Amino acid sequence: DAGVIQSPRHEVTEMGQEVTLRCKPISGHDYLFWYRQTMMRGLELLIYFNNNVPIDDSGMPEDRFSAKMPNASFSTLKIQPSEPRDSAVYFCASSFGGNEQFFGPGTRLTVL
């Protein structure tokens, strides 16, 4: 079975541009999580969904960040406008029933 799928794997963009990260959770999982990882701050939860509904977005750093989950098999994390301090690895993870989380390969974002 395929695991969590993320795209793109790498993204290099210029400050001010819009960035969209994509995630396909494991089929049958009802929770989806977006994380950001940096050397300084470690792994931070940005937002999570249950059955496509956002449950907690308190980790979203600013209004520049938004996330959607239009159906059970797809979610996006959008940054508009992007800034250099947004450079990080963004992970999507999914779980069934809020138990063990399985991570995707991540998107390495570089904002110049």
Partner 1 sequence: QKEVEQNSGPLSVPEGAIASLNCTYSDRGSQSFFWYRQYSGKSPELIMFIYSNGDKEDGRFTAQLNKASQYVSLLIRDSQPSDSATYLCAVNPGTGNQFYFGTGTSLTVIP
Site residues for partner 1 per CB under 8 A: 31, 33, 42-43, 45, 48, 50, 55-56, 91, 95, 97-106
Q: Which is nearer to partner 1, 47 or 81 (CB)?
A: 47
Helix (H, G, I), strand (E, B) or coil at 101: coil
Q: Which is nearer to partner 1, 71 or 99 (CB)?
A: 99
* Residue 56: CB atoms within 10 Å: 13
Q: Which is nearer to partner 1, 8 or 98 (CB)?
A: 98
User: From the CB of 67, what's the least distance to partner 1, in Å?
Assistant: 14
List Cα–Cα distances, 32 to 50, 87, 95, in angstroms: 7, 22, 7
User: From the CB of 101, what's the least distance to partner 1, in Å?
Assistant: 6
User: From the CB of 23, what's the least distance to partner 1, in Å?
Assistant: 12
**CA angle at 5 for the pair 18 and 85, rounded to the nearest 5°:** 35
Nearest one of 26, 17, 51, 22 to 34, comparing CA atoms: 22
Q: Which is nearer to partner 1, 36 or 79 (CB)?
A: 36
Question: Tell me, what DSSP letter sits at residue 100?
Answer: S
